[in-house]
Amino acid sequence: MTKENPYLAHRHPTERAILSASTLNSASASSREPLYGFVPRMVNAEQVRQALEHDLNPFTKQPHTAQYKKILEARKKLPVFAQMTEFYKIFNKHQIIVMVGETGSGKTTQIPQFVAYSDLPHTKNKLVACTQPRRVAAMSVAKRVADEMDVQLGRQVGYSIRFEDMTEPGTTFLKYMTDGMLLREAMNDPDLNRYSTIILDEAHERTLATDILMGILKGLAQRRTDLKIIIMSATLDALKFQKYFAVSGDTPAPLFKVPGRTHPVEVFYTQEPEPDYVEAAIRTVLMIHRAEDPGDILLFLTGEEEIEDACRKIKLEADDLLNSDPESVGPLICIPLYSSLPPQQQQRIFDPPPKSSSPDGPPGRKVVISTNIAETSLTIDGIVYVVDPGFSKQKVYNPRIRVESLLVSPISKASAQQRAGRAGRTKPGKCFRLYTEKDFMSELEEQTHPEILRSNLANTVLELVKAGIKDLVKFDYVDAPAPETLMRALELLNYLAALDDGGNLTALGSIMAEFPLDPQLSKILIASPEFKCSNEILTITAMLSVPNVWLRPNNQRKEADAAKALLTVPDGDHLTLLNVYNSYKDNQYDKNWTWNNYLSARALMQADNVREQLKRTMERFEVELISVQDQKKMFLSIRKALCCGFFMQVAHKEGEKGNYMTLKDNQVVALHPSCGLDTQPEWVIFNEFVLTTRPYIRTVTDVQPDWLLENVQFFDLQNWPDSETKRALERSRKKQSGKFASRFEQADVSKQGGGSSKKRRKQG
DNA sequence: GAGCACTGC
């Protein structure tokens, strides 16, 4: 039996106490403990149903409230509730299970509770964790489940996200958290000993963190036979997970499947491919508005510019229609939706559609024009029509030139299905796909490529090494990244001295991993005390890890640029970011000040938040916080400090046309127009390479070649292929050693006595 | 002389 149920071997004394106390109680069932007779991991659905009906809350020992009973009745109607018996049968028997539950099945709220009744984590000081890809989901689901369980949020049921730990150690036994947060925990406790069961929700989204966690958990399941794992996914790609988590290699992990509860959506395709999807989308929206029954429209486009443009055009045409034919066409409002919109404007998607223009006139309609944010992160009720041109911007990583960029690409079938589903949330709907059925069948990929195949993995590799994963190439990935991507990551970490030549974590790398930053940034942060500017580098790293702080409204570009010019430091954009933050602080974090200076208050607040978090980590690892007082010296120190993390992101000026060439891979790039440098320095470091209308480098600072050359391991010039940048570096290295020579010469001269050194200096 | 798909630590 111990073999069947390894969990029993780890029983905690208090649990035995509960069981024996309950056994002694000979009174009627209703006066017994609600969990009377519960044996962990051998609980069945009948027992749980009884416990749920009990007058007492088993976890607080308080009588259940009326609200509890009301919510319980609603819970009983969820599809997943009807299959509780089946769930416990599978869960009791297996260590790892895969669950598929379509939208509306209730899996996210119910399954973790079912698990809690089986694990009884509160009796052994353990937790049940359920991960979510997004913070808002973790928070809102935790709140809902706390209500369902009749407990206060943050006590028995809590959540944990970056910047907010809403749990109570020793009390919380059911925790919703972001997948990134659990990955961080795995870094420092690779056995995840606090948890009795870990549930990975929304696994089909294949976020980088979920993918890495799946790999870690698969290995961990062997070491911790008492740990149970549930992979929850919404679509039918479950077989891939079942095979991945196969027991002893061939028997797929068992599947627990629950139907969803949505309305049917009728799908239409175009007869011919559309040459211009934006134009076709606008036409389709207007066609729906003229000819279809009332109901709101959701149109998917790829980015801010496209969305704002389409909004204007639709509005113009719709106003024309309304003017020419008010009898049959109602008013229409267009609401743009993308992540960089301020939350207040995002809220507009929940506004009701406009009222009809006359008492008996046709009803108004709302059109939401959105990026992919409406595909997963935000749901809008009342959508009946979806218009899907079949494209989205997707991140792609090119390890050869070490560049992540955004490309407009065709979506996957899974994504198209998800979009169509958005039309059936409140009643039957229609989805208009602006591509042919043939293209859908034969051209679209089944699934969107998981993020791990499209990302720079420097950060991830460092986290994995810190979690004790020795061989990253052999690590059991659900989908293995390109070897070249791993090589690039290992190479960067080695140059930054986070990993030694054998790929082992160095003391420096171990601290770097603790910072929620790209490795280049954690490196400069840790190195900054040497340059006596750690307070400043702290600010700069925080500013670099939040969205763009500069606002540039379409109709006030000149004003915005003028405001920016006043804050610009000509030696480099990094110094400008420091200046912006300091000015923000000097102005008491005033929102009016940010508004008047065309700065994003949201991004600055976020930067301040990140800065505090990073500062705490610095204090924890005794990274000293110091500054030099003299501003000129300080700026110089900062520029030098930046070089010890960004020596691989350097560009050299070529000719007089403002062209730059990146080091080692010799890409021709231009300074981004947002760059604030007043001259075109010979050598610059850059924070990012962006590929838009042409290759640009963005957030750029003027540096000296000898600061770069200090990183001798990277600048082993004799092994570099010949190029103009290499020759320029060699020239400056020669000059540098020349300087050393003359210094030695001077020293020798002064040793010999005589006042010639003074003379010499005057001559020079 | 241009941009920020979306998350997350």
Nucleotide nearest to A600 (CA to C1'): B4
Q: Which tops the pLDDT comparison, A529 or A237?
A: A529
- Helical spans, DSSP H, in A149-303: 179-188, 208-223, 238-244, 277-291
Instruction: Decide if A554 is inside a domain.
Output: no
In chain A, which residues from 405 to 434 place their CB closer than 7 Å to nucleic acid strand B?
A: 406
Please indicate, yes or no, whether residues A273 and A411 belong to a single structural domain of this protein.
Answer: yes
| Mean of per-residue pLDDT scores for chain A | 88
| Final residue belonging to a domain, choices A258, A293, A319 | A258
- Residues of the domain holding A269: 265-452
**Looking at residues A249-255, what average pLDDT do you find?**
90
The model's pLDDT over A536-588, given as tens digits with 9 standing for 90+, comes to: 999 999 999 999 999 888 788 889 999 999 999 999 999 999 999 999 999 99
Instruction: Decide if A606 is inside a domain.
Output: no
The answer to whether A135 CB sits below 7 Å from nucleic acid chain B is yes
Highest mean pLDDT among A329-338, A446-455, A634-643: A634-643
Please indicate, yes or no, whether residues A285 and A362 belong to a single structural domain of this protein.
Answer: yes
In chain A, which residues from 489 to 548 place their CB closer than 7 Å to nucleic acid strand B?
A: 516-517, 545, 547-548
> With contact defined as beta carbons under 8 Å apart, do A512 and A526 qualify?
yes
Please indicate, yes or no, whether residues A137 and A254 belong to a single structural domain of this protein.
Answer: yes
Q: How far is the CA of A673 from the C1' of B2 (A)?
A: 6
The model's pLDDT over A192-219, given as tens digits with 9 standing for 90+, comes to: 999 999 999 999 999 999 999 999 999 9
Strand partners, A670: A659, A696
Cβ neighbours of residue A627 closer than 8 Å, sequence gap 6 or more: A532, A533, A534, A535, A536, A634
Nucleotide nearest to A603 (CA to C1'): B4
Q: Is the pLDDT of residue A46 over 70?
A: yes
**Looking at residues A445-473, what average pLDDT do you find?**
91
Count up the domains in chain A and report the number.
3
The answer to whether A377 CB sits below 7 Å from nucleic acid chain B is yes
In chain A, which residues from 670 to 709 place their CB closer than 7 Å to nucleic acid strand B?
A: 672-674, 690, 692-693, 696
**Looking at residues A699-706, what average pLDDT do you find?**
94
Token pair listed for A500: 């030694």
User: Rounded CA gap, A166 and A143, in Å?
Assistant: 10
CA distances from A59 to A64, A88, A228 (A): 11, 20, 22
User: Rounded CA gap, A723 and A351, in Å?
Assistant: 59
The answer to whether A164 CB sits below 7 Å from nucleic acid chain B is no
Q: Which residue is nearest to nucleotide B6 (CA to C1')?
A: A373
In chain A, which residues from 651 to 670 place their CB closer than 7 Å to nucleic acid strand B?
A: none
Q: Is the pLDDT of residue A64 over 50?
A: yes
CA distances from A255 to A101, A234, A251 (A): 11, 13, 12
The answer to whether A207 CB sits below 7 Å from nucleic acid chain B is yes
Instruction: Decide if A386 is inside a domain.
Output: yes
The model's pLDDT over A723-755, given as tens digits with 9 standing for 90+, comes to: 888 888 889 888 877 765 555 544 443 333 333
CA distances from A92 to A7, A86, A239, A245, A253 (A): 10, 10, 21, 17, 14
Please indicate, yes or no, whether residues A371 and A243 belong to a single structural domain of this protein.
Answer: no
Nucleotide nearest to A179 (CA to C1'): B8
| Final residue belonging to a domain, choices A258, A279, A297 | A258
| Terminal-residue alpha carbon distance, chain A | 89
The model's pLDDT over A341-392, given as tens digits with 9 standing for 90+, comes to: 888 888 888 889 998 878 888 889 999 999 999 988 888 888 999 999 999 9
Q: How far is the CA of A325 from the C1' of B6 (A)?
A: 40
Q: How far is the CA of A666 from the C1' of B8 (A)?
A: 32
In chain A, which residues from 560 to 579 place their CB closer than 7 Å to nucleic acid strand B?
A: 561
Q: How far is the CA of A657 from the C1' of B2 (A)?
A: 18
Cβ neighbours of residue A320 closer than 8 Å, sequence gap 6 or more: none
Q: Is the pLDDT of residue A760 over 80?
A: no
Please indicate, yes or no, whether residues A254 and A269 belong to a single structural domain of this protein.
Answer: no
The answer to whether A304 CB sits below 7 Å from nucleic acid chain B is yes
The answer to whether A371 CB sits below 7 Å from nucleic acid chain B is yes
Angle between helices A601-620 and A534-544 (to 10 degrees): 130
Query: What pLDDT score was predicted for residue A761?
Result: 35
Q: Which residue is nearest to nucleotide B5 (CA to C1')?
A: A393
Token pair listed for A649: 């992101």
Q: What percent of chain A has pLDDT over 70?
A: 92
Q: DSSP string covering A532-595, please? A: TBHHHHHHHHHHHTSS--B---GGGHHHHHHHHHHH--TTBHHHHHHHHHHHHHHTTT-HHHHH
Q: Which residue is nearest to nucleotide B7 (CA to C1')?
A: A134
Nucleotide nearest to A552 (CA to C1'): B3
The CATH code of the domain that includes A281 is 3.40.50.300
> With contact defined as beta carbons under 8 Å apart, do A179 and A207 qualify?
yes
| Final residue belonging to a domain, choices A241, A258, A275 | A258
Query: What pLDDT score was predicted for residue A31?
Result: 61
Q: How far is the CA of A674 from the C1' of B3 (A)?
A: 10
Please indicate, yes or no, whether residues A238 and A312 belong to a single structural domain of this protein.
Answer: no
User: Quick one: pLDDT band at residue A651, thresholds 50, 70, 90?
Assistant: very high
Q: Which residue is nearest to nucleotide B9 (CA to C1')?
A: A516
Q: How far is the CA of A371 from the C1' of B9 (A)?
A: 24
The answer to whether A619 CB sits below 7 Å from nucleic acid chain B is no
Nucleotide nearest to A696 (CA to C1'): B2
Instruction: Decide if A270 is inside a domain.
Output: yes
Please indicate, yes or no, whether residues A436 and A362 belong to a single structural domain of this protein.
Answer: yes
Instruction: Decide if A229 is inside a domain.
Output: yes
User: Rounded CA gap, A338 and A66, in Å?
Assistant: 40
Q: Is the pLDDT of residue A14 over 60?
A: no
Please indicate, yes or no, whether residues A375 and A280 belong to a single structural domain of this protein.
Answer: yes
Closest C-alpha to A283, from A389, A197, A193 = A389
Please indicate, yes or no, whether residues A210 and A85 belong to a single structural domain of this protein.
Answer: yes
The answer to whether A342 CB sits below 7 Å from nucleic acid chain B is no
Instruction: Decide if A18 is inside a domain.
Output: no
Q: Is the pLDDT of residue A235 over 50?
A: yes
Please indicate, yes or no, whether residues A274 and A410 belong to a single structural domain of this protein.
Answer: yes
Cβ neighbours of residue A764 closer than 8 Å, sequence gap 6 or more: none
Q: DSSP string covering A322-348, please? A: HHH-TTT---EEEEEE-TTS-HHHHGG
> With contact defined as beta carbons under 8 Å apart, do A472 and A465 qualify?
yes
Q: How far is the CA of A663 from the C1' of B1 (A)?
A: 25
Instruction: Decide if A543 is inside a domain.
Output: no
The gap from C-alpha A222 to its chain's centroid, in whole angstroms, comes to: 29
Nucleotide nearest to A459 (CA to C1'): B9
Query: What pLDDT score was predicted for residue A749?
Result: 37
Token pair listed for A592: 């009016």
Q: Say which DSSP state A203 is in.
A: G
Nucleotides on chain B that have an atom closer than 7 A to a protein CB are 1-9
Instruction: Decide if A639 is inside a domain.
Output: no
Q: How far is the CA of A514 from the C1' of B7 (A)?
A: 20
Please indicate, yes or no, whether residues A381 and A423 belong to a single structural domain of this protein.
Answer: yes
Q: Is the pLDDT of residue A511 over 80?
A: yes
Query: What pLDDT score was predicted for residue A739?
Result: 66
The region of weakest confidence among A98-107, A140-149, A205-214 is A98-107
Please indicate, yes or no, whether residues A91 and A206 belong to a single structural domain of this protein.
Answer: yes
